[in-house]
Structure formats: C-alpha cells, structure tokens
Chains A and B, each alone.
Chain A
Amino acid sequence: MADHPSDLRTPLSKVRFLGSARMGTNEAWLIHLTSLALVPLTFSFVWLMLDLLRKDYNGVRGELTHPVPAILLLAFIFAGIVHMELGMRSVIVDYIGGQSRAWALAANTCFAALLALACLYATLRVAFT
C-alpha cells in the first residue's frame, strides 16, 4: 500500500475494516461479570434443586414461597440467561457468516429473552401465590 501521489484513496478508507469496531468490550465485560456471579449462584442453585427434585407439587411451591431460595433462583436465572445469550452470540459469530448470521443472532436473543421471561414469570407466580 505505497502512497503514490496519484492515489486518490483517503487514509481512512485504507484502514477501515482492518481493526476493532470498539463494540466488543461491553459484551466481554458482561460475560465475565456474569461468569463470576454464577460461581456461587450455581452452587446455591444445585443445593436448591437437590431439595426441590425430591418434593411433590405442593412441596416445591411451598419451598419457593420462601424469599431466600426464590431470590437466589431468580438471580441464577437472570445471570445465567444473560451469560448464555452472550456465549451463544460468540459461537454464532465464530461459525455463521453472511445473511444467516443476523438471523441467528436475532433468534438467539429472542429465544433467551423468551426463556428468561418464562422462567422469571413462573418463579414469581409460584412465589406470590
């Protein structure tokens, strides 16, 4: 890319698309933050599920009306699904290109959002009734 006096291209056009678009740091920060939060939250989740999976319908509902297990479960769902959405985003970007990438990214976000809403709604419904 020698600079000929007759070269009409601007310096900007020569460096565009060669480096970072400065959009990735927030994503990287969030996936690290949620991973850190999920270390204790996963243990509390497994602890809770060990208890819940041996209970019947009324037992499960009774347990989730207590604030501490319900709040820890909500935190696990929230951090977990944000983490999962970001993780799948990096998988999609690695393997899928072109037009289908945008569709895959949109489907990923919609799936994660719907799953999060369903899990949070169901947990809150049990907790408050």
Chain B
Amino acid sequence: MASSDALPGSRRPRPLSPHLSIYRLTMTMAMSIVHRISGVALYFGVLVLAWFLIAASADASTFAVFSDFIGSFIGRVVLFVVTWALFHHLVGGVRHIIWDAGYGLDAPLRDQMAWATLIGGFALTVFVWIVGLAIR
C-alpha cells in the first residue's frame, strides 16, 4: 500500500498486475505476448498498404518502384511477415471474442485454443501464399 501521508490530491502509484516476473510461461501467456507483438507489427505493416495505395494513386513510374520492392526478396519477406501477423492477430482476436463471450476458459480448452491460434495463423498464411503464388 502506498504511504498514507501523501499530499491530498497527489497521485499515488497505480496498482500493477503481476506478469512476466511472477508467473512461469504458459501457452496462453505466450499467445497473449505474440498477439501484442503481431499487433505492433501490423501497426507498422500498414505502411506497406499505404505505400501501395499512394503509388497506385500516383503515376505508373511511382507504382513501378513499389512493384519492384514487393517483388524483391526483402519485399517478399516483409509481405510474408505482415501476412502472418495479420492472420495470427485475426485468429487470436477470434479467440478473444470467444473468451469475452464466456466460452472456452476451462483448463484443457483454453490451451487448445492457444495452440489453435498459433497453428491457425501459420496455416492461413501458408495457404494464402500458396494461392497467391499459384495465381500470379
């Protein structure tokens, strides 16, 4: 508890929830961390979409610069990582919607859902890349 002799109206330290240094790593905890990391990755991944749209709204030579980047090895890697972040965050988000509705919180199912998030995110990414490479 904060010292009770704090000045009236002054800010006391906010209570913190115990996390990394308190609990050992579990699957749900790992997926919670990856959910946040993939969200932050998407935050900057949107810049690729913005570049694509701005290039498409400009002229053909500006668009060619984007096309060359996204067709290059580094461009492909960036696009693959963003695709994975998008699908992982999507599947993780659906898991959170299910949990928020009050389902799937019991012991075996919550870990199975965390594993399903990890596997589902990769499976959707690989599937979309196979389709993408097949139709190009």
Contact = CB atoms under 8 A, between A and B. Distances in A.
Interface of A: 1, 9-10, 13, 16-18, 32, 35-36, 38-39, 42, 46, 50, 52-54, 56-58, 60-61, 64, 77, 80-81, 84, 87-88, 91, 115, 118-119, 121-123, 125-126
A22 to B, nearest CB: 16
Is the contact region of chain A dominated by helix, strand, or loop, or is it mixed? Answer: helix
Interface size class of B (residues with CB under 8 A): 35 or more
B56 A122 contact: yes
B9 A13 contact: yes
Interface of B: 4, 8-9, 11-12, 14, 36, 39-40, 42-43, 46-47, 49-50, 52-54, 56-57, 60, 63-64, 67, 70, 83, 86, 90, 93-94, 96-97, 100, 128, 131-132, 135-136
Nearest to B36: A91
A91 B132 contact: no
Nearest to B53: A122
From A39, A54, A58, A119, residue with most partner B Cβ within 10 Å:
A119
